[in-house]
Amino acid sequence: MQLKRVAEAKLPTPWGDFLMVGFEEIATGQDHLGLIYGDISGPEPVLARIHSECLTGDALFSLRCDCGFQLEASLTHIAEEGRGILLYHRQEGRGIGLLNKIRAYALQDKGADTVEANHELGFAADERDFTLCADMFKLLGIDAIRLLTNNPQKVEILAEAGINIIERVPIIVGRNPENARYLDTKASKMGHLLDDTH
């Protein structure tokens, strides 16, 4: 287990009241969050979203990505379902950090796509560690989920880490002229499934 559960409190939101659970990586002290809506106990698989931190999209309303749109849509889906979990995975910019993300944006402004920009900065296309999310699910007592994602890599990594993915639920939102190339690159170079098929 790479994490420990360290704190929790109620979080009222426009979608309803969530339980906010704080996790800490044992090796690094990095923090992550789980937002729990409703009663997640019982045998039925719970609707879940792993949302990777995106300050620019989530808080600053950037149109360069679909992250903020996905965050709001996920909270809406979970609230409509009446129960669910959103894990807020604190690995900004696919794990390269905020300042390198800004550097990657500058390279994209000069013509690179999102994968090329990461490579030019010396990073893999995706540096995130989704096994941390499997640990968060386990610390919440969850082993079977319906996962809101377009990223088949998340499904594969979680399954290898012992999480039973009953269903992949697509979350297709937020396409606009500013992020069209970004989304097309995620589909063509990273294998994201950006249609409504399961």
Amino acid at residue number 14? P
pLDDT at residue 181 in the model: 85
Q: Is residue 96 part of a domain?
A: no
Residues 164-190: pLDDT tens digits? 999 999 998 988 998 888 888 878 877
Amino acid at residue number 34? G
Residues 13-66: pLDDT tens digits? 999 999 999 999 999 999 999 999 999 998 889 999 999 999 999 999 999 999
133 has binding-site annotation? no
| Catalytic residue IDs | 126, 128
Q: Give strand pairing partners of 144.
A: 164
Report residue 33 as tokens.
């969050």
94 has binding-site annotation? yes
Q: Is residue 195 part of a domain?
A: no
49 has binding-site annotation? yes
Most confident of 91-95, 136-140, 189-193, 194-198: 136-140
Total domain count, the chain = 2
pLDDT at residue 196 in the model: 54
Better pLDDT: 152 or 86: 86
Q: Is residue 56 part of a domain?
A: yes
36 has binding-site annotation? no
Whether residues 164 and 109 share a domain: the answer is no
The interaxial angle of helices 131-139 and 152-160, nearest 10 deg, is 60
82 has binding-site annotation? no
Whether residues 114 and 66 share a domain: the answer is no
Whether residues 157 and 59 share a domain: the answer is yes
Whether residues 183 and 114 share a domain: the answer is no
pLDDT at residue 197 in the model: 47
Rounded to whole angstroms, the Cα distance separating 167 from 147 reads 6
For the entire predicted model, the pTM comes to: 0.91
Banded pLDDT at 118 (limits 50, 70, 90): very high
Whether residues 67 and 151 share a domain: the answer is yes
Contact 90, 31 (CB under 8 A): yes
Q: Is residue 196 part of a domain?
A: no
Whether residues 34 and 123 share a domain: the answer is no
Report the pLDDT averaged over residues 123-144.
Answer: 91
H-assigned helices in the chain: 55-58, 67-81, 92-95, 98-109, 114-120, 131-139, 152-160, 180-190
Contact 137, 87 (CB under 8 A): yes
Whether residues 153 and 74 share a domain: the answer is yes
51 has binding-site annotation? yes
131 has binding-site annotation? no
Q: Which domain holds residue 150?
A: 3-91+128-190
Whether residues 122 and 166 share a domain: the answer is no
Residues 141-163: pLDDT tens digits? 998 999 999 988 889 999 999 99
